[in-house]
Amino acid sequence: MTEVVAMVYGAVSMVNAIAIGKGSTLGIDTFVEATLIKKEGTGIHITSENKTISSRLINKVIDNMIPKKVLENTRLELNFRSNIPTGYGLKSSSAISTAVVLSCAKAFGKQMSDEEILKMGSKTSIQTKVSITGAYDDACACYFGGFNVTDNLKMKLLHREVGPKELQAIIFLPKSRKRGNLKRLKEFKNAFERSWEFAKSSDYWNAGILNGIATTSILNSDPNLIMKLMEKGALCATISGNGPSIIAITNKKNKSRIQKEFSGLEGKVMIANINNKKAYVHEL
């Protein structure tokens, strides 16, 4: 019997990648912990605290990594523990797929580079239609932490740097999970191209603000909220992924003012720290 544990962190968007196939993300200290037990027997058995976890994604990662003949004589028990809300654009799918890749590689003695680990998760996300672009930007931030700037279509990490650990992400989770028509994002490519260029030159806050105003306007959300959060002292306010979560990056001094701005809206607020730690896996 072999037992391994993988820890992968969450992230938020600075630039949505759907419009131009390029994105930017920032790691936060939410997490997915995957425990994998490999023993004699058959079948893949998944348990999780969160009932909305995608078993289709998990099974496909395993199919892509482990030969069928090996799986026929192996029982895999996977248990997931996570504090990343699912369905809000907070990168739970990227964290889960990366955790499965890491734990399978460790349990089956497969040597994989960072790039191979990230590409395996992203390719599986496309195969299972969990992501339109493969979410390579999301995978990079979940895996490396910090700021990441990527070309998702080429699955290339172009720039990475440490995030400011003294700052926090105030995350609003609206009660309504409505998302607008994502196809419309492509009609406004210029805005996202400009936003991505900001990120590429390490001007992440302006990248996020432009992304937030563009995305809220296009997806019929409220761009005024982005402006109000900036007025309350946020360094950056934006929509994470395709929403509906709204993120304000702030120093601790302005935290309560930003929380107050969210308090009049229907939904929940959570607070996360900036993460610069790399994902890891170890055998028990």
The predicted model scores a pTM of 0.96
- Confidence bin at 113 (pLDDT 50/70/90): very high
> Which CATH fold topology does 168-273 show?
Alpha-Beta Plaits (3.30.70)
pLDDT for 183: 80
The DSSP-derived string for the chain is: -EEEEEEEEEEEEEE-STTTSEEEEEEEEEEEEEEEEEEES--EEEEES-TT--HHHHHHHHHHHS-HHHHHTEEEEEEEEE-SPTTSSS-HHHHHHHHHHHHHHHHTT----HHHHHHHHHHHHHHTTS-SS--HHHHHHHHH-SEEEEETTTTEEEEEE---TT-EEEEEEES------GGGGGGGHHHHHHHHHHHHTT-HHHHHHHHHHHHHHHTTS-HHHHHHHHHTT-SEEEE-TTSS-EEEEE-GGGHHHHHHHHHTSSEEEEEEEB--PPPEEEE-
Q: Could you report the per-residue pLDDT of 204-227, keeping only the tens digit for each?
A: 999 999 999 999 988 877 789 999
Report the share of the chain in percent with pLDDT over 70.
Answer: 99
Give the residue-averaged pLDDT of 188-211.
98
52-87 pLDDT per residue, tens: 777 999 999 999 999 999 999 999 999 999 999 998
Please, is 200 exposed, middle or buried when counting C-beta atoms within 10 Å of its C-beta (0-12, 13-18, 19+)? middle
Give the start-to-end residue ranges of the domains of the chain.
2-163+276-283, 168-273
CATH top-level class of 2-163+276-283: alpha beta
pLDDT > 80? residue 179: no
pLDDT (average), residues 170-186:
84
